[in-house]
Amino acid sequence: MLLLRHSPLTANDLRQCLRIATGGTIGFTLCKIFGWSNGVFFTVTPMLLLGLVPVMSGHAMRQLLASSVMAGIEVGLLGGFFGSHPGLMTPIVFLLFLYRFAAMSRGSLFLFGANGVLSLSIMLHFSSYPNTDLNDLVFSNFWATVLSVVIAYLMMALWPDVEPRVPYKPGPKAPHRMRHEALLGASIATASFLIFQIFDLRDSMSAQATTLLLLFPMHWDGALDYARKRAIGTLLGVSFGVLVQFFLYDWSGLLLLIVPLLWIGLMLFSQAHVREANGSGVGFGALTTLGILFGQYLTPGNDLIFSALYRVSSIFIAIVATLFMCYLIHKILNRFESTRFGY
């Protein structure tokens, strides 16, 4: 935890931690009670929203809902026509990622692009398998987004900020830097999609998400810094998941015991996330890892320990591979004045 700043939590910080932990736990609990499929959407999306958006607003709600609708329409069309032909999908997928990373680069539509990139990549990958119910996949993502918005507003009503926050205003960027960021992100996201398709990596959602989360800083130096933090966050999230499995042992299928332990883990990691004051850090990596482990892999009869250890190895491989591609594309783009990053 040496990477975290050691300033005490303010009243606003503590309330945001409560919102993140409780919101993620509510999404997980409802998913398990009603037996909804694709539980990772219902667990991670509330944490993503409450972690990246300290104060819920109409602008954030519209971005999130629009990104889910757009991803659903695009996946439905592409999955229906080209689901078993990733080669034909590649140029279209690149363009879909490109406009999302362009939106992220502008700053004011960062949430639209970020949520869209994650949703599109995961849904496109799983929609290519013949046994995937495409309608169930798309609507699970959409209803998870709607539920996350409802949860976020509920959490804001339950634990509102005690003092006004300074609104974040993204600074201006030169056009050549925005082109660099959009092309860098779209190229690596497309390469990630192809690699997961070619090697049939249907059980590596954590690694797939990692290849995209590394791109959120939008440049090479930021990706390199986040890679280190993501690795530490993954170890923390996996370690907590394994400890929970050991503690519960044969009772790991009892929701009444799982829910409070999940809340404790999310509360601990949300404090790390808020202390970092960084959207992509150790705390956020631990939160998303824990959310994926519990939401997708914690089911009766499933060995969470094996899943956790597999997650660690696949994520570390994904980090190394993504950093290599990021450095290579960064260098290529910097050779041209129209796509040079600059500072």
Q: Which domain holds residue 145?
A: 11-163+170-339
In the chain, count H helices and then E strands: 12, 0
20-44: b (≥16 Cβ within 10 Å) or e: bbbbbbbbbbbbbeeebebbbbbbb
Q: What is the pLDDT of residue 26?
A: 96
At 34-93, the pLDDT tens digits run: 988 888 889 889 998 998 888 888 999 999 999 999 999 999 888 767 766 667 788 999
Band (pLDDT 50/70/90 cuts) for residue 298 is low
Pick the closest to residue 297 from 203, 209, 213 (CA basis). Answer: 203
What pLDDT is stored for residue 2 in this prediction? 39
Number of domains the chain contains = 1
Q: Is residue 152 part of a domain?
A: yes
Query: How would residue 149 be classed by pLDDT, with cut points 50, 70 and 90?
Result: very high
Which range, 222-231, 233-242, 261-270, has the best average confidence (pLDDT)?
261-270
pLDDT tens profile 95-126: 999 999 999 998 889 999 999 999 999 888 88
pLDDT for 4 equals 46
Using a 10 angstrom Cβ sphere, with 0-12 exposed, 13-18 middle and 19 or more buried, the burial of residue 90 is middle
CA distance 115 to 70: 11
* 3 pLDDT more than 60: no
Which has the minimum average pLDDT: 105-114, 198-207, 299-308, 330-339? 299-308
pTM to 2 decimal places: 0.87
Supply the pLDDT for residue 331.
93
Q: Is residue 2 part of a domain?
A: no
